[in-house]
Structure formats: structure tokens, C-alpha cells
Amino acid sequence: MTLFSNTDQSFRMRASHYLWLALFVFMLFLPGRASLPPLDRDEARYMQATSQMIESKNYIDVRFQDKPRYLQPAGIYWLEAIAVKATSNLHDKALWAYRIPSLFSAVGAVLLTVWIGSLLFDSYVGLLAGLFLAVSVLLMAEGRMATIDTTLLFFILLAQSSLARSWLARLQTQKLPISVALIYWGAVGCGLMLKGPVVLIPTMLTPIVLAWVQKDKSWWQHLRPAWGWVLTLFIVLPWCIAIWIVSDGQFFSNAVGVNFLGKVASGQQAHGSPPGLYILIFLITFWPGSLFTAWSLPFIWKNRKLDSIKFLLCWIIPHWLIFEVIATKLPHYVLPTYPAIAILTSAALWGISKDWHGPVSRWGRGLFHLYLALWVVVGTILAVGGICWAYYMSGIWFWGAMIGAVGVLTLIAYAVYCIVKEDNIQRASVISIAASLVVYIELFVILIPGLSSEWLSNKIAKTVEVLKPCEQSVLASASYSEPSLVFLVGKETKLINPEKSAQFLKDNAACGLALVDRKKEDSFNKALEMNHLRVKELGRIHGLNYSTGKKLDLGLYKVAP
């Protein structure tokens, strides 16, 4: 049985198509990499830990300042260290160099999504699925950060591509090439070196659930399970043994007992949320594709017993349910399901059978139109929100971005027209992808580069470099404790309170510096009086802490002569 009654089966993605697509995705994710500040606190911690790894030449024991970073294995730090050593140096503090692994992983993830979609359905489905993933809000953000998740997604998709081939070949008498098994077990091993057992959720649960649903596990033999796991252990064990010796077992108690299992029981770092969060935020994180996924749900349910759809559902549902139940929730936890969701959505859009034209019941169409209205609201916020934020930070209206916003709103309006008036969901999907491309040009080509001088950590680092009394001066920051400050100013930077900052100046009278917000100067001055210390203000730094949304007025001080 085929779903594709109205697609041109003569079209097949060839190597040249993949190369052009790779170039397009590379150019899509390239802007903003150098001008974008660390997008969250974790990214700066990854950068600083990588920098210390290179500087110390200790590639086993990962550290942030003087504290061990026993959260996950060292894989991502190795990749970032290779990228930095190949393209830059530590003194440049080049953010883009640390983000190279995520750039290439984003490109690879999109290509693998296209390939898996083409394998399970056809090239039209695969290509549209790859585009949906590429322009999704979540991947567009994660693919620009020097964190684990985009790279982990790439290796998960490598493993899932082998699973898909094995699943489709289960009726064949001839075994698949040994390379399919090598890719699967190698990808699982690399995933373990990135984020530990998290990689096993999609890569192992998918075949387990498939075997349970299908009541057949013979296809699993294509992946040579008798010996394949040895390859995974060969990748993982050397570092595991080394870190066990170096940390005296503390790494595993922290990474597994505290970080991994702790997130199951309670919301860590104020990220606890009840079940259902991922469904609620899906409208935003998978925008613009989220609208078309909502449109596709009846189609997916109707055809759930088809082999390709069954494979994708057994990939999505277990992973999604596990992370909905886990107390700690962050948007990127369900990112590995997005390629499968994109493929299912594209199958409904481009594999439309003659009797399928979207939701038909009154309730179904009513809910879809409500979702459409919310989708328009999200698109409007994406189009104009960055402009308003840029004005709040700098007091400047970016006219180029405003022109782009008009273009985005026009394309969104046309997409709605195609759905409501023309009943042409396929055209609307293409128009929505075009609208998202304009959004990202607006954000990453116009707004973010234009605001590069406004990022507070950059301002502080430049001011300290100019005004520091000694070459080896150390800064004590009493009011601004972002990890990006440590990365840009130096690993010796002290993130302490006003009282300890005063004591630090007393102990480092010749070269010490203190950074104190005006709101905390009373505490700082009282501590100075208790220490019989006079200070000189070298300058003031005004800016916005983007992590908290608070404007700061920081004074930079040294001990007076």
C-alpha cells in the first residue's frame, strides 16, 4: 500500500542534491555565530571548561574554574577543543570556534532527516521534513550554541538511520551490509560519550517497542547484536576507566546519581514542570512546522499501522512520554523526536491519498483553526519581538529588521489565506518555511550583529582589559555572576558578594579589581570601612543582564593609592 498517489516518483535525492542542501543549511546556521553572546549559562560553562582543558592539557578531568564538572562525559569538550585548536587560539576568545561542532552537527542532522524520510517514504517527504527541522525554532537556537544537544541529535539520527534500514529490510532474506551495524553501535558509543545513558532512550527504546508492537524481533539481527555492543564499549570504556581513577569514582556518583537520576525525581535548577509542558511549548519550539503537525494528526492516526509510520511512532512516543514524566524539563530534551515528527508531518502533506484533506469533523476543524490563530500569534512575536527587545537594550530602531518583519507578517498572512480560502496546505507549508527564513535573517543578520557591542560581559571584559592596573589583575564581581564573564575575563575571576569583594581588594591591593552594582554599593562601602580601605572608581559600565532581564549600573574599583 502506498500513500503517495499524487507525487512524482521520478524525483530522487542524489548526491549532488545533498551537497547543495548541505551548503544551504550551512549558510542558514552560519550568521550570528561570531556576534551572538552565550545564549544561556551552560554554553559559557562549556566554553570555559573547554578552554581550561586546552590550557591544562588535561583531557580527562573536565573543570570549570577550580570545580570539577562531573555532569556528562568529555565528548563535547573534546570536539570543541579540536575545533578551537584547528581554527583559533585561547587568547582570541572566539565564540564561533567553540560552536563549530554544533554547526556541522546541525547540517548533518538535517541531511540525515532527509535521508531517513526518503528511505521510509520518498524524496519529497524527506526534503520537506529536513526543511521543517532546519527552520524550527528549537534547532535554530540549539544549532548555534556550543552545547551538547545538536551534536547528540546528529549521533542519534545516525543510529536511527541504521534502525530504519533494518526495520524495512526485515522481510529480506539477505543481511544488510556490516556497515549498517557499525554505524549503529558506533553512534550509540559516541552518544554515550556525549551525554551518557540519555542516548539509549531513543536508540534502544525504539527497537524494544517495535519488537513488542510487531511481535517480531528477527529484524534486529541485521544490526549484529551478538558483537555490536563490543564496539560501543570500545568507544566508551577507556575514558570511563580513566575518569574513575582520576575522580576516585566521584564522576559516576555525580553524573548518574545526582545529575541524571536527580532530574527524574525533582526539577533541578528551577526547571521543574508538570507533565504536558512539551505539548504546550511545541507550538513555539517547532514553529512553523507545528501548525502542519497539528493538521496531520488525524492522518497519522488513520495510517498508524503502516510500517513507516509505525517505526516513527515507536521512535517518538516512548521518548516523549519519558521526558514528560521526568520532573526536570528543558525544551531540548525532546529534540531527538523532532526529525521523526517532521517526517510524519511531511508524509501527511506530500503523501496525501485521495480521501485525505485534513481534519473533517466540526471539532477537528475548530481546534485546528484555534491552533492556527495561536500559530499566527507566535509568528508575529518572532517577527516583531526581536525588534522590540533590541530597542529596549539599545534605544535604537533597526529599520532593516522592521522591513523584514513586514515581509514575515505578509508571508504569514498569505499562508493563512492558502489554508482558509484556497485549502492548499502544501503551498502554505512552503510559504511558512519562507517566512521563518526571513525571521532568522532579521534576527541573526541584522539585529544580533547590531547589538554585539551591548552585551554586558563583552563590555566588562573590554573595560577591564583597558583599565586593569596589572597584566595579571583578577576581577571580583559582586553583582554580575554570569559564566560568560569568567570565559571572557579569565578563569581566576571571582564571583562573590560585596563583602567578600572588599576583603579581596584588601588582600590584593596592588592588582585587584572589584565590580559592584550601584544597588549593592552600600554593602560594599560598609565592608570597605570595616577593612579601613579606600577605593578609586575607574569607570562605570551600564548594560542589560540578558539572563535575568535586569539593567545594571556597575562600578569598577581598585584600591586607592
Q: 236-264 in b/e burial notation, b at 16+ Cβ within 10 A?
A: beebeeebeeebeeebeebbeeebbeebe
Please give the residue that has the higher pLDDT: either 231 or 274.
231
pLDDT above 60 for 8:
no
SS (H, E, C) 274-287: CCCHHHHHHHHHCC
Residue 355 forms part of a structural domain: no
Residue 193 forms part of a structural domain: yes
What number is the average pLDDT over the span 345-353?
A: 80
pTM of the model: 0.93
Cell digits of residue 153: 541529535
pLDDT for res 322:
94
pLDDT above 50 for 502:
yes
Residues 346 and 400 in one domain: no
Residues 157 and 298 in one domain: yes
pLDDT for res 133:
98
pLDDT for res 400:
92
What backbone phi and psi angles, to 5 degrees, belong to 559? -65, 130
- Count: domains in the chain: 3
Final residue of a domain: which of 329, 350, 371? 350
pLDDT above 60 for 352:
no
Residues 185 and 329 in one domain: yes
- pLDDT category at 270 given cuts 50, 70, 90 is very low
Please give the residue that has the higher pLDDT: either 273 or 135.
135
Residues 331 and 376 in one domain: no
Residue 289 forms part of a structural domain: yes
425-471: pLDDT as tens digits: 999 999 999 999 999 999 999 998 888 777 888 899 999 999 999 99
The answer to whether residues 378 and 284 touch, using CB atoms and an 8 Å cutoff, is yes
pLDDT above 90 for 228:
yes
Largest CA distance in the chain: 86
Of 283, 282, 289, nearest to 415 (Cα)? 289
pLDDT for res 551:
83
Between CA 436 and CA 136 the distance in angstroms is 8
Which residues span the domain enclosing 75? 15-350
* Grid-cell match 575575563, residue found: 489
DSSP string, 225-273: HHHHHHHHHHHHHHHHHHHHHHHTTHHHIIIIIIIIHHHHHS-GGG-B-
Residue 114 forms part of a structural domain: yes
CATH code of the domain containing 499: 3.40.190.10
What number is the average pLDDT over the span 488-498?
A: 92
In the sheet with 494-495, reading across from the earlier edge strand, the strands are: 494-495, 475-477, 513-517, 550-559, 535-545
Residues 155 and 97 in one domain: yes
Given CA atoms 158, 163, 169, 175 in this order, what sign does their dihedral have? positive
What number is the average pLDDT over the span 339-358?
A: 81
DSSP 288: T
Residue 7 forms part of a structural domain: no
pLDDT above 80 for 222:
yes
What number is the average pLDDT over the span 33-51?
A: 87
Residues 391 and 501 in one domain: no
Residue 95 forms part of a structural domain: yes
What number is the average pLDDT over the span 180-204?
A: 96
Q: How do beta strands 67-68 and 494-495 pair? A: unpaired
The answer to whether residues 133 and 109 touch, using CB atoms and an 8 Å cutoff, is yes
Final residue of a domain: which of 350, 380, 405? 350
Residues 106 and 176 in one domain: yes
Residue 101 forms part of a structural domain: yes
pLDDT for res 264:
56
156-174: pLDDT as tens digits: 999 999 999 999 998 777 7
DSSP H or E stretch at residue 138: helix 137-142
- pLDDT category at 357 given cuts 50, 70, 90 is low
Mean pLDDT estimate for the chain:
90
Final residue of a domain: which of 453, 469, 499? 453
- pLDDT category at 350 given cuts 50, 70, 90 is confident
Residues 187 and 52 in one domain: yes
pLDDT for res 4:
47
Residues 499 and 449 in one domain: no
Residues 124 and 36 in one domain: yes
What number is the average pLDDT over the span 254-281?
A: 67
Residue type, 378: V
Residues 339 and 371 in one domain: no
Please give the residue that has the higher pLDDT: either 479 or 399.
399
Residues 137 and 91 in one domain: yes
Residue 357 forms part of a structural domain: no
